[in-house]
Amino acid sequence: MTRHTPRAIIVIFGATGDLANRKLYPSLYRLYRNHKLSDHFAVVGVARRPLTNEDFRNNIKKSIADFQDDPIDHDAFAAHFHYNPFDAQHLSEYQKLDNFINQLDDKHQADGNRLFYMAMAPNFFGPIAANLKSQGLTDNRGWSRLVIEKPFGHNYETAQQLNEQIGQAFSEDQIYRIDHYLGKQMVQNIEIVRFANAMFEPLWNNQYIANVQITSSEVLGVEERGRYYDESGALRDMVQNHMLQIVSLLAMEPPAKLHPDEVRYEKIKVLRSLRQLEEKDVNAYFVRGQYDQGEIAGKAVDSYRDSNGVASDSNTETFVAGKFMIDNFRWAGVPFYVRTGKRMAKKATEIVIQFKDLPINLYKDKGDTIDPNLLVIRIQPDEGITMHLNAKKTDYETTSTPIAMHYNKADQNTESPEAYEVLIKDCLNGDSTSFVHSDEVSLSWKFVDVISKVWMNEKADFPNYQSGTNGPTQATELLAQDGFHWWEIN
């Protein structure tokens, strides 16, 4: 079968790391298996470990061991992978790498296309990008693209520094900042639900929508990431990127066309329209929490401060709930609530759009309450869409009862591509729609930095929620003061 994806040499810096083994190699394999990756490709694994090609290829085969039932020869797939020991600080190493890529390009007929993937610590992004440029690795006859992973800086200033560093070596249309949430199928479905259904887009505004709720909860704690997480926290780790990206997709205006530049332009406009907080207002709009001991699935679990690498008096938040107000014509007055946390009651990422109540309840005399209409988009673990409506009870009276109309992705008996699979394919095809623009990074950090500054300078009364619950009571009060409550969708 003909494979249509462009030919390329994919260079993975950090090729022996967890991200590469857990996500990148299985995703490349699925693309290859599903005929989305050209036969004319090679992967150059770059890392400091002194591995042989055989060692490296054995690692690749181990990472795709779960696909034993596929009619694909794992040895033939692994033969596309080549290892290159590398010290990023020595310029001579780059010239050797360039020669090696040229040899592979000739062997695999890759048309001179190069994809550089930074699967390593962010402090290497800028220096490696600069060296790739100065040593001529971007002077190839095909295209060159750079993929970087979050975090894109730790605040506005460091994000600007990173953007300037990599921007001197690669133009903005060559830079692909991965936020894996944007590769999830139901996140990508937000566009389809909004812009391909005549029943929704006319209602997608402050005349008909009362509030929007976005929840991303985990039952796991920080596990072995305590040292990293204690320097980051839920605000930087989740809100600045994943949550704000979903807000911008939900709130953006219809783009002139479904072109990457047009979609990203509309998302940037949303971030520019966010009501900017003054320091004195932060705690009225945002709530933080840190998990204590508790019980999950009948098993006792420890507190955040008992985790390895976490300070015994840590002021780092493991939970954030907040209210975004978007001051534009479409959304004025509609709160966008977000909450994200670890060690919560269930693992779920979902969006709830609550529509406004009817002006009058005609069934009040019959003792009925009319529940609000809800549109629920479930991103994980059970991908799907649910509409909550009111309908007649199954009895002799004309009375109402709430019902739910479900679309469950699992019922389609089709395998959904993984987020990294989708994003790698898009990058190879030059489609940057689901990648983060530098302006999005800057605007989101500007907003979040105000909150970070306040919380850094105020000692919180932590821990303030038990593991296995839905977070601190202040998160409930945040909505209650507006007359709303969090929807717990089963």
- Tokens 């019922």 belong to 411
Q: CA 323, CA 480: separation in Å to the nearest integer?
A: 12
Q: Quote the CA–CA distance of 234 and 155 in Å, as a whole number.
A: 14
Q: Which two tokens stand for residue 9?
A: 């040499």
How many angstroms separate the CA atoms of 196 and 194, rounded? Answer: 6
User: What per-residue string of b and e applies to 401-423 under the rule 16 or more CB within 10 Å gives b?
Assistant: eeeeeeeebeeeeeeebbbbbbb
Q: Which of 180, 242, 388, 437 is catalytic?
A: 242
Are residues 347 and 218 in contact, defined by beta-carbon separation less than 8 angstroms? yes
Spatial neighbors of 106 by CB under 8 A, at least 6 apart, are none
β pairing state of 374-380 and 348-355: antiparallel
CA angle centred on 481, ends 343 and 353, rounded to 5° = 65
Strand-pair partners of 82: 44
Does the annotation count 242 as an active-site position? yes
Q: Are 240 and 324 in contact (CB under 8 A)?
A: no
Given a contact cutoff of 8 angstroms between Cβ atoms, the answer to whether 343 and 468 are in contact is yes
Cβ pair 274, 442 in contact under 8 A: no
DSSP track, 266-301: HHHHHHHHBPPPPGGGHHHHEEEE-EEEEEETTEEE
DSSP three-state, residue 448? helix
Residues assigned a catalytic role: 242
